[in-house]
Structure 1
């Protein structure tokens, strides 16, 4: 069995080895961040005269729902119903022609949504004008049916425009890593992109509002600059795992009749060290940033009228800042639990 001195010496050696691996791996894949958390664990174990835990690899995030699980079925409009000649006074002929040409049929989901949005605006304005009074009974009924159908379909098209976009889906890539230690905040413009997508969804039935194609595509491209959602979630998983492992050390010590006898140095000094204070500040920043991002995502999804059960389940597990089953709640709870345990230990061993 190792004595306290040997355990501390071997613990320091293992930390040095782990840090070397992290440096070789590079900070871009979360290695520097994990080294920070493992370093804290080992200093805590040394102070408690316990074996440092063997860091476990955190779980990955779940796969984003597949296309057949996240996209909504939208039936094609019958050709006879969309009779552009009969409804020529509604100014939809050119729109329909653009949608039916070769480029229109392979357009991106976001562009298909802009088409449907513009078509609905034209049909709605036509219905509220004098045109219906000048139509035959059959064509008036055709227009009424078309307006009703497109009004019902537009929220589904809006949903598909988001969940069929490679930029949005790529934000949840499992082939991602935790955030670098000094890059916790999202890239410039990514929060603004979420806000814009929420606004266009909320205003889709506003007849006086029309989104700009280049602005919409620009915001989607901003989300593609990095899979921030996935990186943030994996950072929360990593931090929750390392905090739980550190808490297990404190729980082990507190279970003893005289936990203070283990202390090789005052525990309070460990938490007042600059490295520990930096870690506390980083964890607080992570919690604040994660809550802000998840609330922005929640605002975007809450603006959607339609949706699928599979996305709702994913949202509850991974994208909620409130659900007790969500990864954010697990991280927040692990942080609070660790703070309570260490304050208890410090209080008992003054």
Structure 2
């Protein structure tokens, strides 16, 4: 659709307008080794203290030390760490009113301090250093589908996006724990968090949206360049006179730009605003934790306000493209109502 639009625009402007979008891809996340954050381990000797009845952590620790527990996926490790922290908090509250040997009390408080300090890194590693999140920033996924006119298919597309939005909202709630007081409860969805990871992995909306965004940006810039080049070389219409070419140009505008490209851009824009805002909400509580490589990536590809970032480049291309159409249609006295 994008290449066909540029081809038709070039034809009516009498300009060579080849546009090959096959090698335009979004930029994936930095390599995982550049994103991973170290977590301070709790020494095994300290964990032995937690087998005391005061902490009720023995079943949880036993699962963690099992053969399956040693190869936990990031999502499962996140659940373990959050449940551990909640039980540790209860333990610390209980021992405040109990008589314990000073050494035991100090060890329990030491473990509690380590787990609290680790939480931002645990959240970061479990949310963004996963196969599921990497799939949403892959460079190899196809762009988003064209908006469907079939009602059932349209509803299916909307339902898929709604499921992604909900999963990212759950990630937002988890991320927010990094900046909250330490009396937070476990999220009510925590035992079903695997469903959210599965949604992101199977849907891969983020990767497809970013691919659509870079393709749309290239198309908009190319369309603007063609119109600007033609107007710079010679007028398309003289003194508002509509010639035969002007009627063909209007057909390209109405059928291929307004009829096909604009609905696709509207979809990219609306869903992109939601997707970027969700990642902004996830990352903000972790901003002091982010590794350097991710800080740069966030600025370039996820920050909606960065004038040199990917989103603003798209917005600039859209404004340039709109202005070019206004110039050429205005020259031919064919400006549709509400264009400006």
Q: What is the TM-score of this pair, normalised by structure 1?
A: 0.82
Deviation at 1:160, TM superposition (A): 1.0
Range moving further from structure 2, 174-183 or 157-166? 174-183
- The 1:134–1:181 alpha-carbon spacing in structure 2 relative to 1, beyond 3 Å, is same
Partner Cα distance (1:219, 1:324) in 2: 32
Deviation at 1:179, TM superposition (A): 1.6
Please give the per-residue CA displacement for 1:71-123, whole angstroms capped at 9, x wherever unaligned: 11113211222223674311122222221121111111111121111111111
Partner Cα distance (1:75, 1:188) in 2: 37
Partner Cα distance (1:274, 1:328) in 2: 26
4+ residue segments displaced more than 6 Å: none
Hey, what does 1:13 align to over in structure 2?
Answer: none
Deviation at 1:333, TM superposition (A): 1.0
Q: Is 1:111 aligned with 2:111? A: no
1:201 and 1:303 in contact (8 A); partners too: yes
Partner Cα distance (1:79, 1:254) in 2: 74
Aligned residue pairs total: 315
Please give the per-residue CA displacement for 1:225-244, whole angstroms capped at 9, x wherever unaligned: 22211111111111111111
Deviation at 1:131, TM superposition (A): 4.9
- The 1:132–1:149 alpha-carbon spacing in structure 2 relative to 1, beyond 3 Å, is farther
Deviation at 1:214, TM superposition (A): 3.8
Structure 1 unmatched runs, 5+: 1-35
Q: Is 1:307 aligned with 2:290? A: yes
Deviation at 1:141, TM superposition (A): 1.1
Hey, what does 1:175 align to over in structure 2?
Answer: 140
- The 1:86–1:64 alpha-carbon spacing in structure 2 relative to 1, beyond 3 Å, is closer
Please give the per-residue CA displacement for 1:5-61, whole angstroms capped at 9, x wherever unaligned: xxxxxxxxxxxxxxxxxxxxxxxxxxxxxxx22222233223323233343545322
Deviation at 1:139, TM superposition (A): 0.9
Hey, what does 2:202 align to over in structure 1?
Answer: 225
Deviation at 1:317, TM superposition (A): 1.9
Aligned positions of 1:1-350 closer than 5 A: 36-55=1-20, 57-84=22-49, 87-131=52-96, 133-182=98-147, 187-203=161-177, 205-260=182-237, 264-266=244-246, 269-270=250-251, 273-278=254-259, 279-304=261-286, 306-350=289-333
1:64 and 1:314 in contact (8 A); partners too: yes
Partner Cα distance (1:207, 1:276) in 2: 51
Range moving further from structure 2, 191-200 or 301-310? 301-310
Please give the per-residue CA displacement for 1:241-265, whole angstroms capped at 9, x wherever unaligned: 1111111111112213534369652
- The 1:264–1:54 alpha-carbon spacing in structure 2 relative to 1, beyond 3 Å, is farther
Partner Cα distance (1:241, 1:148) in 2: 50
Partner Cα distance (1:225, 1:284) in 2: 24
RMSD in angstroms over aligned alpha carbons? 2.4
2:95 and 2:105 in contact (8 A); partners too: no
1:87 and 1:143 in contact (8 A); partners too: no
Partner Cα distance (1:94, 1:131) in 2: 23
Deviation at 1:271, TM superposition (A): 5.7
